[in-house]
RNA sequence: GCGCCCUUAGCUCAACUGGAUAGAGCACCUGCCUUCUAAGCAGGGGGUUACAGGUUCGAGUCCUGUAGGGCGCACCA
């Protein structure tokens, strides 16, 4: 079981091979032309040069071959267009057979990865003592979606929040507590005040900074008193983070941080020194990672500062060791701001050079994303110039959904709790979809109106269509799978039927490039196609029993797919809305 | 100075990795609640894909250059 375009590709590959044409040119895709033809293959033109033939002639050979062969009962029409496009239209009987197969397929035709392979995903990346703001949105939402996708693809996917809990900011807080002579219970509110205060003071005053550096070093060396206090405010901080992540429905399997790599660092540095990879330079310890043929001058990865303290790159490298030991993953995916691409290039090179992550054992991927800008194209700020907190954003979206619900006739018989539950699901779907539908690589404009919009290409639209189907199936008394002995395809539902078969192609593409927006796009098209079908056709009131059953099956299949994709994207469908 | 990324409709974004007439949503205009949820559907207008060359049967996509924007270049994370 696979998508129709994949099946047709197999058939086309056979035809190409039989005619001594390169099979890799045989790929069949959904037709770009809206009307008329259903699928197309562009391989004749690609093969023309090497075969020294006219592309139309090649296309004709392929078409003749296919018409002669037994697969001819598949094609309603197969013809040549333009410079050599092979256009394919399928027989309804073949489409019907395919749907029948799809209806009983557990995974919609999506292939499953070999068992026992792990992938670690590094996303979220909140910092201790800092309030989570909209900047954490992308990493969390994209990362969580990719984790769910990897899981569905059959991998043992492990999401790690990888907190910033080990750098100089920790020393800033500890030294600030010293200066305050503080000895009570640390609260979230306190932390929110202390950190910015300490950070500013350190920037302005070199001596104050020295205190922070000193405290950082002591902490990293295992000072008892500091460790105790550190543990205390880490726990407080994590409680706050969990609140935010829970509200967004972002899940982590591990709550590790930079500090968890600490036990690996000393051994790692010694090993790198022994291998001659780590060297002293200006009092610091570095790993040169430049290679012949580099276009740019790649600075070395610094492991130890001249004062002996570790850095971001040190913990990142050691974290790979830690992950290798605990999970032995085939891949580690970092969902981190694109601006850090140089840093990851350095770490990845050092990991390969040192054998910490041999190239053929662990694949290291930086799935970077663009910077979030405000409407003016500059990094996003609220109207008063501050940073918008995540909680604020979530509650804005929820409130808008609440208002929308209060206006609706439907909500009259709902109690408070049900309304709040729906408003939450709708609000979160709006936020997540607004973010996920963008290709992750490019910078994007953070538009609060778009984030909290419920019309058009939005999360709530997808929820709405799903809810409509669910309601329809409920009224029709359909609960479990519908197996159609006979499936009837008509002009009103053919487009939806064909689209339903294409999920595997889109899932594969999204996985390959780590781009959830491909799934967003497919889900939207599917919902739109369904909505059109829903508007044009009678379903429950259809008199033709075979057609009615076929259409109910289509509804259910659409619901199942939307439900799967929404869950992969981290959205929940309410019972009604 | 060196390097990376970006520039597509008024706005926000797609375009299956080189394919046919570049698609969606928002906004604007016209219809549709007496069929199963109108957070919806049907239809309309809106484009020299920043610019100039090049490669190719074929370029938004690849190569070169120019302009504009963003970012990064060892003791922050």
In this complex, the nucleotide whose C1' atom is nearest to the CA atom of residue A457 is B25
**DSSP category for residue A440:** T
3-state SS class at A182: coil
Q: What is the DSSP string of A25-59?
A: G--EEE-SSSSS--EEE-HHHHHHHHHTS-HHHHH
- CA geometry: angle A96, A100, A101, nearest 5 deg: 120
- CA A116 to each of CA A112, A122, A156, A328, A518: distance values in angstroms, whole numbers, following the listed order: 11, 19, 7, 10, 27
**Nucleic strand B near CB of residue A466 (< 7 Å):** no
For strand B, give the nucleotides within 7 A of a protein CB: 2-7, 11-20, 24-27, 35-42, 56-58, 69-77
CA of A5 to C1' of B47 (A): 31
Residue A231 contacts by C-beta under 8 Å, 6 or more apart in sequence? none
CA of A562 to C1' of B13 (A): 21
Alpha carbon A418 to its chain's center? 29
Task: Provide the residue ranges of all domains of chain A, joining segments of one domain with +.
Answer: 4-90, 168-248, 390-568
**DSSP category for residue A115:** T
How many other C-beta atoms are found inside a 10 Å radius of the C-beta of residue A571?
Answer: 27
CATH of A4-90, one of 3.30.70.260, 3.40.1160.10, 1.20.120.330, 3.30.1360.70: 3.30.1360.70
CA of A522 to C1' of B20 (A): 22
pLDDT of amino acid A34: 57
CA of A337 to C1' of B66 (A): 29
Rounded Cα distance between A252 and A157, Å, is 10
Residues 82-141 of A with CB under 7 A from strand B: 82-85, 87, 127
How many other C-beta atoms are found inside a 10 Å radius of the C-beta of residue A227?
Answer: 16
**DSSP category for residue A254:** B
Residues 4-33 of A with CB under 7 A from strand B: 27, 29-33
Whether residue A454 contacts residue A423, with contact meaning beta carbons closer than 8 Å, is answered with no
Paired tokens of A144: 């969580």
Paired tokens of A111: 């292939």
- CA geometry: angle A80, A84, A90, nearest 5 deg: 40
**Nucleic strand B near CB of residue A467 (< 7 Å):** yes
pLDDT of amino acid A101: 93
Residues 329-368 of A with CB under 7 A from strand B: 338-343
CA of A30 to C1' of B77 (A): 45
Whether residue A238 contacts residue A232, with contact meaning beta carbons closer than 8 Å, is answered with no
Residues 368-387 of A with CB under 7 A from strand B: 370-371, 375, 377-379
- Judge residue A335's burial from the number of C-beta atoms within 10 Å of its C-beta, 0-12 exposed, 13-18 middle, 19 or more buried: buried
pLDDT of amino acid A383: 65
Strands (E), A20-90: 28-30, 39-41, 75-81, 85-90
The three-state (H, E, C) secondary structure of A406-427, written as one string:
HHCHHHHHCCHHHHHHHHHHHH
pLDDT of amino acid A131: 79
The stretches of A221-340 forming alpha helices (DSSP H) are 224-248, 262-274, 312-327
CA of A510 to C1' of B58 (A): 27
Phi (first) and psi of residue A369, to 5 degrees: -135, 160
Paired tokens of A268: 């790692």
pLDDT tens by residue, chain A, 577 residues:
789 999 999 999 999 999 999 999 999 999 987 567 899 999 999 998 888 888 999 999 999 999 887 666 899 999 998 889 999 999 999 999 999 999 999 899 999 999 999 999 999 989 888 878 887 899 999 999 999 999 999 999 999 999 999 888 999 999 999 999 988 889 888 888 888 889 888 888 889 999 998 999 899 889 999 999 999 999 999 999 999 999 999 999 999 999 999 999 999 999 999 999 999 999 999 999 988 777 777 899 999 999 888 899 999 999 999 999 999 999 999 999 999 999 999 999 999 999 999 989 999 999 999 888 877 666 677 766 677 888 889 999 999 999 999 888 888 888 999 999 999 999 999 999 999 999 988 888 888 888 899 999 999 999 999 999 999 999 999 877 787 889 999 999 999 999 999 999 999 999 999 999 999 999 999 999 999 999 999 899 999 999 999 999 999 999 999 999 999 999 999 999 9
Rounded Cα distance between A468 and A470, Å, is 5
In this complex, the nucleotide whose C1' atom is nearest to the CA atom of residue A5 is B16
The ipTM assigned to this model is 0.96
Whether residue A216 contacts residue A168, with contact meaning beta carbons closer than 8 Å, is answered with yes
Paired tokens of A304: 């130890």
> Among candidates A515, A502, A511, A519, which has minimal Cα distance to A113?
A511
Rounded Cα distance between A220 and A395, Å, is 38
Residues 250-309 of A with CB under 7 A from strand B: 258, 281-284, 286, 295-297, 299-300, 302, 305-307, 309
**Nucleic strand B near CB of residue A61 (< 7 Å):** no
Paired tokens of A422: 């729906």
pLDDT of amino acid A156: 97
**Nucleic strand B near CB of residue A421 (< 7 Å):** no
Rounded Cα distance between A228 and A207, Å, is 25
- Residue length, chain A? 577
Q: Kind and range of the H or E element at A95?
A: helix A92-103
**Nucleic strand B near CB of residue A243 (< 7 Å):** no
CA of A12 to C1' of B63 (A): 32
Whether residue A250 contacts residue A259, with contact meaning beta carbons closer than 8 Å, is answered with no
Q: Domain spanning A390-568 has what CATH number?
A: 1.10.730.10
pLDDT of amino acid A19: 92
pLDDT of amino acid A51: 84
What b/e sequence results for A540-561 when a residue is b if at least 16 CB atoms lie within 10 Å of its CB, and e otherwise? Answer: eeeeeeebbbbbbbbbbbbbbb
Radius of gyration of chain A (CA): 28
The stretches of A456-502 forming alpha helices (DSSP H) are 459-476, 494-500
CA of A510 to C1' of B70 (A): 26
CA of A41 to C1' of B39 (A): 39
3-state SS class at A301: strand
In this complex, the nucleotide whose C1' atom is nearest to the CA atom of residue A305 is B75
Question: Which residue has the least CA–C1' distance to nucleotide B76?
Answer: A168
């Amino acid at each position: 079981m696979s998508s129709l375009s994949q099946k047709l590709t197999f058939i086309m590959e056979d035809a190409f091979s039989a005619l001594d044409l390169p099979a890799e040119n045989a790929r069949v895709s959904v037709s770009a032309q809206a009307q008329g033809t259903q699928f197309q293959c562009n391989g004749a033109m690609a093969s023309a040069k090497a075969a020294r033939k006219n592309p139309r002639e090649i296309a004709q050979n392929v078409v003749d071959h296919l018409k002669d062969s037994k697969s001819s009962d598949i094609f309603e029409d197969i013809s040549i267009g333009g410079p050599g496009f092979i256009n394919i239209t399928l027989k309804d009987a073949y489409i019907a057979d395919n749907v029948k197969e799809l209806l009983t397929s557990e995974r919609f035709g999506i292939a499953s990865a070999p068992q026992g392979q792990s992938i670690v995903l590094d996303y979220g990346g909140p910092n201790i003592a800092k309030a989570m703001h909209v900047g954490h949105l992308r990493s969390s939402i994209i990362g969580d979606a990719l984790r769910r996708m990897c899981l569905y693809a059959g991998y043992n996917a492990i999401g790690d929040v990888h907190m910033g809990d080990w750098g100089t900011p920790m020393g800033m807080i500890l030294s600030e507590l010293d200066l305050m002579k503080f000895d009570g219970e640390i609260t979230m509110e306190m932390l929110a005040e202390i950190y910015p205060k300490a950070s500013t003071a350190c920037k302005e005053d070199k001596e104050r900074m020295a205190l922070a550096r000193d405290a950082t070093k002591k902490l990293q060396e295992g000072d008892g008193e500091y460790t105790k206090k550190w543990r205390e405010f880490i726990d407080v901080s994590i409680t706050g983070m969990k609140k935010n992540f829970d509200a967004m429905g972002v899940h982590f399997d591990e709550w590790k941080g930079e500090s968890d790599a600490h036990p690996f660092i000393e051994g790692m540095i010694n090993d790198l020194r022994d291998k001659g990879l780590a060297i002293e330079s200006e009092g610091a310890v570095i790993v040169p990672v430049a290679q012949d043929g580099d276009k740019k001058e790649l600075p070395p990865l610094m492991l130890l500062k001249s004062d002996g303290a570790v850095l971001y790159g040190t913990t990142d490298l050691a974290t790979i060791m830690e992950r290798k030991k605990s999970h032995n993953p085939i891949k580690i995916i970092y969902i981190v701001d694109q601006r850090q691409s140089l840093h990851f290039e350095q770490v990845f090179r050092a990991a390969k050079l040192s054998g910490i992550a041999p190239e053929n054992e662990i694949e290291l991927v930086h799935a970077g994303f663009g910077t979030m800008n405000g409407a003016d194209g500059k990094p996003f700020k609220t109207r008063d110039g501050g940073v918008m907190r995540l909680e604020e954003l979530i509650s804005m979206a929820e409130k808008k959904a609440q208002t929308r619900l209060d206006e609706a006739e439907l909500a009259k018989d709902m109690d408070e709790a049900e309304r709040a539950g729906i408003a939450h699901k709708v609000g979160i779907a709006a936020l997540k979809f607004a973010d996920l539908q963008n290709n992750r690589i490019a910078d994007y404009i953070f538009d609060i109106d778009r984030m909290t919009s419920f019309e058009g290409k939005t999360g709530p639209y997808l929820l709405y269509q799903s809810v409509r189907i669910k309601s329809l199936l409920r009224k029709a008394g359909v609960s479990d799978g519908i197996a159609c002995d006979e499936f009837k395809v008509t002009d009103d539902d053919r487009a939806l039927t064909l689209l339903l078969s294409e999920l595997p192609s889109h899932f594969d593409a999204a996985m390959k490039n780590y781009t959830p927006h491909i799934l967003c796009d497919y889900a939207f098209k599917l919902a739109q196609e369904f909505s059109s079908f829903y508007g044009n056709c009678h379903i429950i009131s259809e008199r033709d029993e075979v057609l009615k059953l076929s259409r109910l099956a289509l509804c259910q299949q659409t619901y199942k797919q939307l439900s799967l994709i929404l869950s992969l994207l981290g959205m929940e469908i309410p019972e009604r809305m």
